[in-house]
Amino acid sequence: MKLTKWISFLFIGGIMASCYPEKDRTVADLDLVGTRFADGIDFASYSTYTLYDSVIIVYDSADDKPDYPIEEAALILRTMRTNLDNYGWIEAGPNDTPDVYIEASTWNSKIVGAVYYPGYGYPGYGYPGYGWGYPGYGTSYYSYTTGTVMMHIMDVKNYPFDHSPPIVMWTGGLNGILSGSATSSRLESSINQAFLQSEYLNKN
């Protein structure tokens, strides 16, 4: 398992969100990227793929279904396809059976909270008007959203078609703070990083 700028491979929105330092919650360096592959897989024996044409949205059934992130989903699929093609994979035709099936899923977690900034003082050292000074700033409220993207490559070539779950050959996970105008470029960069650190997928 490969780790890059992160703590663990468990991309659970609430757990990961709790790891972000309060003062740095919009810093791109806190984006997390991780990959994992199944033992005993000979990736060289697979060459064709089918990429599911939509990103699966995961959400709590108790909540309202979120709007489909059209632009972000298009970016995720486009970047995945570009990396696969650059690595020498061949996209299967509509009537062909691929060696692997690939899908992506995503979900968001909104983080809200408050920080209290008390006042503080210091001795005046004999200067009038410079006694105990600086009032508190009171309570500051914040809200930000963390987003998680999971990518899975599943074995179709050796699938027994007996209704058993397919073997997940490779998983890539991204988790980051969704904020600012650079969100799209950070998302693209993180997907690229997931493939970059998975050199065994490269057929060139």
Specify the CATH number for 2-109+145-201; select among 2.60.40.10, 3.30.160.670, 3.30.43.10, 3.30.360.10.
3.30.160.670
Q: What angle do CA 61, 55, 24 make, to 5 degrees?
A: 80
User: Rounded CA gap, 107 and 175, in Å?
Assistant: 10
**What is the tens place of the pLDDT at every residue in 109-124?**
655 556 555 544 445 4
**What is the tens place of the pLDDT at every residue in 137-191?**
555 654 445 678 899 999 999 988 777 888 999 999 888 755 555 578 888 999 9
pTM attached to this predicted model: 0.70
- What residue ranges do the domains of the chain occupy? 2-109+145-201
Contact criterion met (CB below 8 Å) for 91 and 49: yes
Question: Which segment of 2-16, 75-89, 187-201 scores lowest on mean pLDDT?
Answer: 2-16
